[in-house]
Amino acid sequence: MPEGKIVKALSGFYYVSTNGRIIQCRGRGVFRKRKVSPLVGDFVEFQAENDLEGYILAIEERKNELVRPPIANVDQAILVFSAARPEFSTALLDRFLVLIESKQIEPLICITKMDLLNEEEEAAIDGYAADYRSFGYEVILTSSENLATLAELRVHLEGKTSVFAGQSGVGKSSLLNALKPELSLKTDDISDSLGRGKHTTRHVELINVENGLVADTPGFSSLELTEIEAEDLPQYFPEMVERSHNCKFRGCLHINEPKCAVKAAVENGEIPSYRYEHYLQFMDEIKERKPRY
């Protein structure tokens, strides 16, 4: 049975890449009965009479999947945040990072529009970048016009399936257009009155860029921590994982426990206070969540 990878889903059709060809397929009814939907990124078995009439017969086990955007088997998430317009937000970045970490997806932080900053603003962003690098994250500072930093980003795309994600208007499509100009992806300018952009990407599609596959998505339409439990949250903060073995109590949540190495690191400035405050906010949000039945 031939095998391939779904690289696009649109209007009930799934486009499967196999041996240099794209086969247009539909999903068999058996998937609906099992309440399983094929996703972009799925490795599948299919049968096809020709390139326009195929049927997906089986979906291989996924290593991960995202619901919004709907995509499976992601290797890395390139979290695109703008330095300005819209304003850089560590709170939103930390929320994205927790969600990505919880899916066992490697994050790469890409801060765009650096060309819009004055010296003072640039120094502030450089400070944040240094913080996140100290946590163990890769951080790239760029603009769609900066060819040197675009080259740095290209290296990270090779051989991987990547998701570009971030809030609207941060320049995801502009960045992809700069990486591969023939894409000509539609972009919208930021509305100064609203301070945010419009969704301009309408479906999920994997695009060949730098010998890798990249998904240009509408971003995460839901950023709620609905699938994360309180006891698991600390493991999605690498700087807490690094210090947790020095806490007095195993399973320390780093809130009220005595002799907590994480709280000590916050007090002496090893962990920035804003990062710890976001952790506490997320913990409160999880604990106040209505239980699922």
**106: pLDDT confidence band, cut at 50, 70 and 90?**
very high
Q: Is the peptide bond before 86 cis (omega within 30 degrees of 0)?
A: yes
Residue 243: predicted pLDDT: 96
Say if residues 152 and 140 touch (Cβ distance below 8 Å). yes
- Cα(101)–Cα(95) distance, integer angstroms: 10
In DSSP terms, which residues pair with 15 in a beta bridge?
8, 24
**240: pLDDT confidence band, cut at 50, 70 and 90?**
very high
Say if residues 206 and 161 touch (Cβ distance below 8 Å). yes
Structure tokens at 242: 């690094």
Q: How far apart are the first and last CA of the chain?
A: 40
CA dihedral (213, 217, 219, 225) in degrees, to 10, reads -60
- Cα(134)–Cα(143) distance, integer angstroms: 23
pLDDT of 218 higher than 70: no
One-character DSSP codes across 93-139: HHHHHHHHHHTT-EEEEEEE-GGG--HHHHHHHHHHHHHHHHTT-EE
pTM of structure: 0.84
Chain centroid to Cα 70, Å, comes to 12
**132: pLDDT confidence band, cut at 50, 70 and 90?**
very high
